[in-house]
Amino acid sequence: MTNAVHDAERIRERKDAERTRRRKDTERTREQQDTEQIWEPSSADPPVLVLGATGRTGRRVVARLRDAGRTVRAASRSAETPFDWTDRATWAAAVDGMRALYLVAPADPEPIADFVAEARAAGVRRFVVLSGRGVHRYGMALEPSMAEAERAVREADVDWTLIRPNSFSQNFADDLYAAPLRAGLLTLPVGAVAEPFVDVEDVAEVTVALLTEEGHTHRTYELSGPRALTFAEVAAEISAVSGRPTRFEAVTAEQYVADLIAGGMPEKDARSLACVHVFLSEGHNSEPTTDVRYILGREPRDFSEYVKSVAAAGIWA
């Protein structure tokens, strides 16, 4: 499908979704509106609760909202507002007075629906949920928390927007990939698949737009970088820019699991990580999308820019 046809279809789908949303809004009875604390689009600064606020996306979302002068509550177990998915006593103070929320799902999906209900009862109306590209294919089997977070907001009477990013460019600066790259060889069970890695800065900027602008209710966005690279191309680019020779070699899932276990990872985690990479290897997520451009009005950041900035910081030296 060409980009033009793809864009036209998306615009038509979004217009349909917008019409449905407007109809639902008008169907809401006046009695409900009088008794509920509702999302007020007219409010210039509806307070935003950011979960996972010390994480890769959350801390960037917090920083960008604060730079824009917005009222933000940064929450996680170690953030300024204590919030623990496993300790329900921390939920009420975190959601109190908030109107919009960035949801980074916990490892265990069990508390998600209850939390969404509690946040809604406290007056939160807008939910932007971090999910992952392909979650509709593997869902509960591989990433149960992201699938459950999507389900929970869809089934609650709230304004939700889902983001499903590709693999983050920043994964290559985390030790799972960075340590092997520094040692000269990254091995993964991904074959020769290409992936349009997305920069977490773009994910954060999109998230801020979805939390603060109108027109994204009940929409799902797939966020990718502008071009797909194989892992061998990534290693070659990192070698060239960092000056440290490194390469990529595809391995079987069983070999990968054995290597991770030998490195000290519990078998369950190793198997689940292998499954994620095997899913990637099937190429369902390889096509770049136009959603970052649609939301931000500019192209997503290219992988080369990311590599240059990280190499300058000495991550792979």
Binding residue (CB under 6 A) for ligand NAP from 18, 36, 84, 282: 84
CB atoms < 10 A from the CB of 213, how many?
9
Asked if residues 218 and 292 have their Cβ atoms less than 8 Å apart, the reply is no
- Judged by beta carbon, residue 168 or residue 316, the one nearer ligand NAP is 168
The angle that helices 200-212 and 56-67 make with each other, rounded to 10 degrees, is 50
Find the binding residues for ligand NAP in span 98-157 (CB under 6 A): 104-106, 130, 132, 143, 146
| Contact call for residue 78 and ligand NAP (CB under 6 A) | yes
Q: Rounded CA gap, 267 and 79, in Å?
A: 30
- Judged by beta carbon, residue 24 or residue 88, the one nearer ligand NAP is 88
Number of amino acids touching ligand NAP (CB under 6 A):
26
| Contact call for residue 272 and ligand NAP (CB under 6 A) | no
CB atoms < 10 A from the CB of 35, how many?
9
Of 48-56, 237-245, 281-289, 291-299, the window that binds ligand NAP (rule: CB under 6 A) is: 48-56
- Judged by beta carbon, residue 280 or residue 311, the one nearer ligand NAP is 280
| Contact call for residue 56 and ligand NAP (CB under 6 A) | yes
Q: Which two tokens stand for residue 205?
A: 């900027």
Q: Is residue 17 classed as helix, strand or coil in its secondary structure?
A: helix
Q: Rounded CA gap, 231 and 130, in Å?
A: 24
H-helix or E-strand containing 268? helix 267-281
| Contact call for residue 300 and ligand NAP (CB under 6 A) | no
Q: Which residue lies nearest ligand NAP, judged by its C-beta?
A: 55
Binding residue (CB under 6 A) for ligand NAP from 48, 49, 50, 58: 58
| Contact call for residue 288 and ligand NAP (CB under 6 A) | no
Q: How far is the CB of 16 from ligand NAP (least distance, A)?
A: 27
Q: Is the dihedral of CA 209, 211, 217, 221 positive or negative?
A: positive
Q: Which of 136, 141, 243, 257 is nearest to 189 (CA)?
A: 257
Of 54-62, 114-122, 209-217, 309-317, the window that binds ligand NAP (rule: CB under 6 A) is: 54-62
Asked if residues 207 and 102 have their Cβ atoms less than 8 Å apart, the reply is yes
Site string for ligand NAP, 169-208 (x = CB under 6 A): --x-------------------------------------
Asked if residues 206 and 290 have their Cβ atoms less than 8 Å apart, the reply is no
Cα three-residue angle 283-286-291, rounded to 5 degrees:
140
Find the binding residues for ligand NAP in span 155-174 (CB under 6 A): 165, 167-168, 171
List residues binding ligand NAP (CB under 6 A). Answer: 52-58, 76-79, 83-86, 104-106, 130, 132, 143, 146, 165, 167-168, 171
